[in-house]
């Protein structure tokens, strides 16, 4: 590439909020040491094929190291918010331990477990994570952006192992834990640097040089080996395009919107969000909606750092309500959740590109989604105001002149076609039955649902005297499953205590967790989107410059 044909574009990544740190200093030996061993809530009964890891490790370490004292603690870390992790960190440091082992990093609990370990390493406490093949890559990516060299020991499935092989695996794991807690930090960091599997090919990237003749096509080719982008072609974020996007923002470019999200340790700022909005194909006029969506995702109840990496296939549903939808051409009618609408496609895509490029929720690596879904490309639509029989979302949360955006981490919407009749109770019974299935997360973590009603049936309900509150109450009372169908042990920390004493267990905690949206065209279908569960719906006003 000649200098005359070269153009330098800003990278769509973030800037780390702090310098990398070495792991904590390790003792030369664990003899006479005190270790804290945390079961993070995943070992049993979630992972029976890995065996009783914590029990085995405690036995094997004490058999291996003379005078070693092990204290055990159970914490369901996936339930912890960031402030709760900070409090737990302080409590552990006050305990005077010589080391910490957490088992086991698997699925979403990996994020909390790794955040805790990285903070403790920076504070001087040696840590080790035991991880499955699912959790290990996420933990390694997070460590690469903060404390490269944090020891992560993979635990194998027991499937196909005989007793001798299991015993050998146990001994190997105990020896690896001892080594991880006694190896000098410089050697741990050097080993991580020599292992390409634990790095990030885009780490430290600030700009990308491409051929000016067709910058967008050239950039598209450059992104894939860097594990950037969503696989679709992109628009090159030239200085002129980024400046035009920023001109539509009511906030300064350097303002931090979410910071710093894991796995990358970088903050999402107005500036890097604008770069990703250009990549996605947004018009500058769309940027206030993108900005409002990300600001809503920053709310603690949204649980950003868990939603970015979960095994769940849901996307970030972005529901725009108010006059701005018509102004920008955000589709709310026939086919509004499908292809053909630039505003819908690119607003949702800008948010998801930011998750991949800045937060580094890398598909197949630090994003743990088992299958993922098309909702993780774009999941944006508007509420239909024409003929709306009730109060739309923006009027519920603000007023008629104020446009809002509502975000929720949820599954792609499920179709509801009432085959039992078209009376209000029959249509809503069919809707409730789709929500109340044993395959959703809601019997672990009940929560917010999106209920997307076509305008004709919504009007029919209103004509029959049904209010929004009536519909919510009906769904709350009927979207339930018999207790006898559920396992005895369930995740119930996010459930009201009265759930344990009812024969019919709800999928939501209160009626208001059914968010009714009128959208779509003429037809017989409703749609309902069950939630990931730990994330709550957040609504925010859209501000324009």
What is the three-class DSSP state of 389? coil
| Residue 16: DSSP 8-state | B
Flag whether pLDDT at 514 surpasses 90: yes
pLDDT at 494: 67
Q: Are 113 and 100 in contact (CB under 8 A)?
A: no
pLDDT at 43: 67
Q: What is the crossing angle of helices 424-435 and 468-478, to 10°?
A: 50
pLDDT at 498: 80
> What is the set of domains in the chain, with CATH numbers?
34-198 (3.40.50.2300), 413-529 (no CATH)
pLDDT at 194: 74
Structure tokens at 210: 């491409």
pLDDT at 391: 97
Alpha-carbon distance of 323 to 386, in angstroms, equals 11
pLDDT at 293: 98
Instruction: State the chain's maximal CA–CA distance in angstroms.
Output: 78
Q: What is the arithmetic mean of pLDDT over 204-229?
A: 93
pLDDT digits (tens, 9 = 90+) for 308-367: 989 899 999 999 999 999 999 999 999 999 999 999 999 999 999 999 999 999 998 899
pLDDT at 197: 62
What is the three-class DSSP state of 251? coil
- pLDDT category at 1 given cuts 50, 70, 90 is very low
| Mean pLDDT rounded to a whole number for the chain | 92
Structure tokens at 529: 């989107």
- pLDDT category at 261 given cuts 50, 70, 90 is low
Task: Write phi, then psi, for 517 (nearest 5 degrees).
Answer: -130, 130
Supply angle C-alpha 132, 138, 141, rounded to 5: 130
């Amino acid at each position: 590439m000649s200098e005359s044909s070269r153009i330098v574009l800003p990278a769509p990544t973030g800037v780390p909020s702090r310098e990398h740190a070495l792991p904590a200093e390790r003792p030369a030996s664990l003899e006479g040491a005190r270790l804290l061993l945390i079961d993070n809530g995943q070992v049993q009964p979630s992972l029976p094929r890995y065996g009783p890891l914590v029990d085995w490790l405690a036995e094997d370490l004490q058999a291996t190291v003379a005078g070693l004292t092990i204290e055990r603690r159970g914490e369901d870390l996936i339930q912890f918010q960031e402030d709760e992790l900070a409090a737990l960190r302080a409590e552990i440091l006050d305990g005077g331990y010589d080391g910490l082992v957490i088992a086991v990093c698997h699925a979403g609990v990996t994020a909390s477990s790794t955040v805790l370990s990285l903070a403790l390493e920076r504070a001087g406490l040696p840590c080790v994570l035991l991880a499955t093949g699912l959790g290990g890559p996420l933990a390694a990516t997070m460590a690469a952006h903060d404390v490269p060299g944090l020891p992560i020991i993979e635990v194998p499935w027991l499937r196909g192992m005989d007793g001798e092989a299991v015993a050998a695996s146990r001994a190997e794991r105990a020896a690896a834990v001892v080594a991880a807690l006694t190896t000098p930090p410089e050697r741990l960091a050097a080993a991580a640097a020599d292992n390409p599997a634990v790095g990030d090919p885009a780490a430290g990237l600030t700009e990308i040089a491409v051929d000016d003749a067709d910058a967008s096509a050239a950039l598209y080719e450059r992104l894939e080996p860097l594990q950037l982008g969503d696989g679709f072609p992109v628009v090159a974020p030239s200085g002129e395009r980024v400046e035009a996007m920023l001109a539509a923002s009511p906030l300064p470019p350097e303002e931090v919107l979410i910071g710093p999200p894991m796995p990358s340790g970088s903050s999402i700022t107005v500036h890097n969000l604008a770069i990703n909005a250009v990549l996605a194909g947004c018009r500058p006029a769309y940027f206030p909606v993108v900005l409002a969506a990300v600001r809503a995702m920053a709310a603690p109840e949204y649980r950003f750092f868990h939603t970015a990496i979960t095994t769940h296939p849901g996307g970030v549903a972005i529901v725009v309500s108010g006059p701005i939808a018509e102004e920008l051409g955000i589709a709310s009618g026939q086919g509004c959740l499908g292809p053909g609408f630039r505003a819908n496609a690119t607003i949702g895509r800008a948010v998801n590109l930011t998750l991949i490029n800045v937060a580094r929720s890398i598909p197949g690596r630090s994003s743990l989604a088992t299958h993922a879904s098309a909702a993780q490309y774009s999941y944006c639509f508007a509420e239909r105001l024409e003929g709306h029989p009730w109060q739309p979302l923006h009027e519920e949360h603000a007023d008629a002149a104020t446009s809002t955006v509502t975000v929720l981490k949820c599954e792609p919407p499920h179709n509801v076609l009432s085959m039992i009749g078209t009376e209000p109770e029959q249509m809503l019974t069919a809707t409730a039955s789709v929500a109340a299935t044993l395959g959703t997360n809601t019997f672990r973590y009940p929560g917010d649902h999106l209920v997307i009603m076509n305008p004709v049936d919504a009007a029919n309900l209103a004509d029959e005297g049904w209010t929004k509150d009536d519909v919510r109450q009906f769904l709350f009372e009927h979207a339930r499953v018999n207790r006898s169908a559920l396992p005895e042990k369930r995740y119930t920390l996010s459930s009201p205590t009265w759930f344990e004493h009812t024969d019919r267990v709800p999928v939501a905690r209160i009626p208001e967790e059914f968010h009714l949206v009128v959208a779509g065209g003429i037809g017989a279908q409703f749609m309902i989107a069950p939630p990931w569960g730990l994330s709550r719906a957040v609504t925010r006003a859209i501000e324009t410059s």
